[in-house]
A = this chain, B = another copy of it.
Amino acid sequence: MDVADEVVIAEAVASLFLPHLRPPLLALCFSGTSMNPKDFRSLAHQMVDWMADYVEQAGDHPVIPDTQPGDIRAQLPSSAPQEAEPFAQIFADFQRTVIPGMTHWNHPGWFAYFPANHSPPSILAEMLTATLGAQCMSWQTSPAATELEQVVLDWLRQMLGLSESWVGSIQDTASSATLVALLSAREQATQHQYGMKGAAADNADRLVVYASTEAHSSIDKGVKLAGYGLNQLRSIPTDENFAMDPNALEAAIEEDLAAGLQPACVIACVGTTSSTGLDPLEAIGALCKKHNIWLHIDAAYAGSAAILPEHQYILDGVEYADSFVFNPHKWLFTNFDCSAYYVRDVDTLLRTFRSDPEYLKTVYDPQVVNFRDWGIPLGRRFRALKLWFVLRSYGVKGLQEHIRNHITWAQELGEWVEASLNFELLAPVPLGLVCLRFHPPSVQDEEALNALNEALLAKVNQDPRFHLTHTKLRGRYTLRVSIGQLYTTRQHVVELWNLLQTTADQL
Contacts and interface: CB of A to CB of B under 8 A. Distances in A.
Contact of A393 (B64, B90, B142): B90
A286 interface: no
20 contacts: A7-B497, A24-B489, A29-B119, A35-B393, A41-B52, A67-B144, A80-B159, A85-B393, A90-B388, A90-B393, A94-B128, A102-B134, A102-B142, A105-B134, A116-B133, A127-B127, A197-B205, A199-B229, A337-B381, A359-B480
A120 B29 contact: yes
Nearest to A198: B229
A283 interface: no
A376 B55 contact: no
A21 interface: yes
Nearest to A7: B416
Interface string A403-447: 000000000100110010000000000000000000000000000
Contact of A376 (B80, B144, B175, B416): B175
Contacts of A21: 59, 108, 489, 491-492
A101 B300 CA distance: 31
B197 A229 contact: yes
B18 A469 contact: no
Number of copies of chain A assembled together: 2
B205 A147 contact: no
Interface string A353-378: 10111111101100110000000111
A11 B500 CA distance: 13
Contacts of A290: none
Nearest to A228: B198
Contact of A105 (B51, B106, B133, B480): B133
Interface string A117-140: 111111110111111111100011
Given A17-B491, A30-B120, 9 more contacts: A51-B127, A105-B133, A130-B130, A197-B229, A199-B204, A218-B355, A220-B355, A225-B226, A358-B472
Interface stretch (A71-79, A237-245, A246-254, A308-316): A71-79
Contacts of A456: none
Contact of A395 (B76, B81, B412): B81
